[in-house]
Each structure stands twice: as structure tokens, then as C-alpha cells.
């Protein structure tokens, strides 16, 4: 990438700490110039199966809503990365990833129905497709992480959320997840 750090992926830069398999808390701050892929995320969760808290931030990340998927200045992990966290890190309770792309055409059968204990999820700049992609994204995420805690979430009304407001898509998905949880609780 122009102005980047070569053609390597995040795993190449982090190889020395990937050998520390007993880590339970990891915080990483990477440049947005370092390509980040599903394969990188899988390497992280395979290296650190005992994770309880994982935070990944990218410095110098602009608001992604200005970009169409094909014009993004770097690669985005997909929902497969979240599936990897759900299936490979059973003790994870805190997960923050700065950007994820969730294809609204992902079949439900491709996302396992889990009872994962994750409580805090922050996806920052989420790309969930056009139209009502946030509804499908919320339903897919609920299959993985049904017990998310939104008590500290700041919501904005969906109809007032400008699509170019930073994190607006993630806020919409949070609202969908909260509605799904409330519906589940009302049936009990």
C-alpha cells in the first residue's frame, strides 16, 4: 500500500507475541496501513484461546461511511472473524474491533447459534450493506452473542441518524440487538 509498511499482514508484525498462548487480555493499536484480514483475526484467536478481553484499534481511521466497500483504503475483517471469536474464545467477555463488514446476504445457516458469554461488543465503523442491512447484521450477531450488555450504549434514533455520522451503522445494529433481546425477555 502506498505510504504503508510493506505488503505484510498484521500477523507478520505480531508474530513474536502470538507465541504467548496464555494471554487473557490483549490490546493492539495498529496503523490503518497494515492490512487486516479474517486470516489475521483467526491467527489471533488461535494464538490466544484464553482471551477474556481483546481490543484492536487502528489509528488514523477515518469515518468509513464515506467509502463504498470497493473503495476502502484498507481491508476489513468480515463476520467470519466474529464467528472465529465466538467459536474459539469461549471465555471472551469484551471485544472491540474498529471495523467489520457484514454482508447482508449472509445466510443464517452460515452463522452458528451460540450461547457465548460475550457482554461487551464494539464494532466501531461497521459496514452492513445498503437499506436495512443493519437489521440482518443484528440478527446474525445475536446468533453469536445473545447476552450482550447495552446498559452503557449511547443510542441515536435511527430515523435521525445520518448515514455519514461516525459509527451510525453500529448504533443502528445495537438498537436491533437490544430489540431482539427485549423480545426474548418478554417471552420468558
Q: Taking residues 120-129, what's their average pLDDT?
A: 86
Average pLDDT, the chain: 82
* Model confidence at 78: pLDDT above 50: yes
134 inside domain: yes
User: Residue 59 belongs to what H/E stretch?
Assistant: strand 53-59
Burial of 79 (0-12, 13-18, 19+ CB in 10 A): buried
The pLDDT of residue 5: 36
The pLDDT of residue 129: 80
Q: Taking residues 86-107, what's their average pLDDT?
A: 94
* Residue 128 belongs to domain with CATH number: 3.80.10
182 inside domain: yes
Which three cell numbers mark 10? Answer: 498484521
52 inside domain: yes
Q: Taking residues 83-112, what's their average pLDDT?
A: 95
Q: Which residues pair with 94 in a beta bridge?
A: 53, 120
Residue scoring higher pLDDT (26 or 65): 26
3 inside domain: no
Q: Which domain holds residue 151?
A: 10-186
89 inside domain: yes
2 inside domain: no
Number of domains in the chain: 1
Report the predicted TM-score, pTM, of the whole model to 2 decimal places.
0.83
Nearest C-alpha neighbor of 56 from the set 5, 1, 100: 100
* Model confidence at 71: pLDDT above 60: no
Our CA angle for 174, 51, 179, nearest 5°, is 15
Amino acid at each position: 500500500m502506498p505510504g504503508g509498511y510493506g505488503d505484510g499482514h498484521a500477523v507478520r508484525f505480531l508474530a513474536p507475541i502470538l507465541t504467548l498462548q496464555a494471554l487473557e487480555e490483549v490490546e493492539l493499536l495498529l496503523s490503518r496501513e497494515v492490512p487486516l484480514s479474517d486470516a489475521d483475526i483467526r491467527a489471533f484467536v488461535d494464538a490466544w484461546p484464553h482471551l477474556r478481553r481483546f481490543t484492536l484499534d487502528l489509528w488514523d481511521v477515518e469515518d468509513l461511511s464515506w467509502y463504498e466497500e470497493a473503495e476502502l483504503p484498507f481491508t476489513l475483517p468480515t463476520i467470519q472473524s466474529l464467528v472465529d471469536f465466538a467459536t474459539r474464545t469461549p471465555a471472551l467477555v469484551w471485544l472491540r474491533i474498529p471495523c467489520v463488514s457484514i454482508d447482508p446476504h449472509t445466510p443464517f445457516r452460515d452463522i452458528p447459534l451460540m450461547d457465548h458469554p460475550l457482554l461487551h461488543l464494539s464494532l466501531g465503523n461497521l459496514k452492513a450493506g445498503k437499506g436495512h442491512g443493519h437489521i440482518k447484521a443484528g440478527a446474525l450477531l445475536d446468533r453469536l452473542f445473545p447476552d450482550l450488555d447495552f446498559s452503557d450504549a449511547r443510542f441515536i434514533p435511527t430515523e435521525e441518524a445520518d448515514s455519514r455520522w461516525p459509527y451510525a451503522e453500529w448504533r443502528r445494529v445495537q438498537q436491533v440487538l437490544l430489540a431482539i433481546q427485549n423480545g426474548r425477555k418478554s417471552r420468558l
